[in-house]
Amino acid sequence: MKIACPTTLREDQLGGAPVLSRPHMNKKARGSMEEAYTGCVLSVKWKDNKVVSVASNKMRAQSLQKVKRRRNNPNLSLLNFTRNLVIAVLKTYGVAKKRPGPKYPLGSAAKSV
């Protein structure tokens, strides 16, 4: 039986894969990526805020694309998630929500529940 196994790795667990060392990757621009194959295992290093190492025996590295971080109001999104989770648990046990929610708009996450 073949099992797909992607995982993040520490620097000393790369098993001699021929990828750049952490100091060399730190000199590269954010978003830089390097990949190496050792047998049937793919090792990928990329630089985000820090250097990240990933290995997989199933996946292959994909082409890169630019993404934009969403940081509109992280505290509000956590509040929305927590509130929606509580509402879902209450519905599971058949308990109706008795108090109205907060007076500010909750966003799209609350509309889906």
Q: Do both 20 and 51 map to the same domain?
A: yes
Show the tokens assigned to 27: 């000199």
Q: Do both 11 and 50 map to the same domain?
A: yes
Q: Do both 13 and 49 map to the same domain?
A: yes
Query: Would 87 be classed as within a structural domain?
Result: yes
pTM over 0.75: no
Query: Would 100 be classed as within a structural domain?
Result: yes
pLDDT reported for residue 113: 47
83-100 pLDDT tens trace: 777 777 777 777 666 655
Beta bridge partners of 54: 8, 44
Q: Do both 81 and 47 map to the same domain?
A: no
In angstroms, rounded to a whole number, what is the distance separating the alpha carbons of residues 90 and 69?
33
Query: Would 68 be classed as within a structural domain?
Result: no
Residue type, 8: T
DSSP, collapsed to helix, strand or coil, labels residue 25 as helix
**Domain assignment of residue 35, given as a range:** 7-56
Radius of gyration of the chain (CA): 21
Counted domains in the chain: 2
Q: Do both 44 and 85 map to the same domain?
A: no
Q: What is the mean pLDDT of residues 35-49?
A: 76
Query: Would 66 be classed as within a structural domain?
Result: no
Query: Would 22 be classed as within a structural domain?
Result: yes
Q: Best-predicted range by mean pLDDT among 28-37, 66-75, 77-86, 101-110? A: 28-37
Query: Would 89 be classed as within a structural domain?
Result: yes
Query: Would 69 be classed as within a structural domain?
Result: no
How many Cβ atoms from other residues are within 10 Å of residue 5's Cβ? 11
Query: Would 90 be classed as within a structural domain?
Result: yes
Say yes or no to pLDDT of 20 above 70.
no
Pair 58, 42: CB distance under 8 Å: no
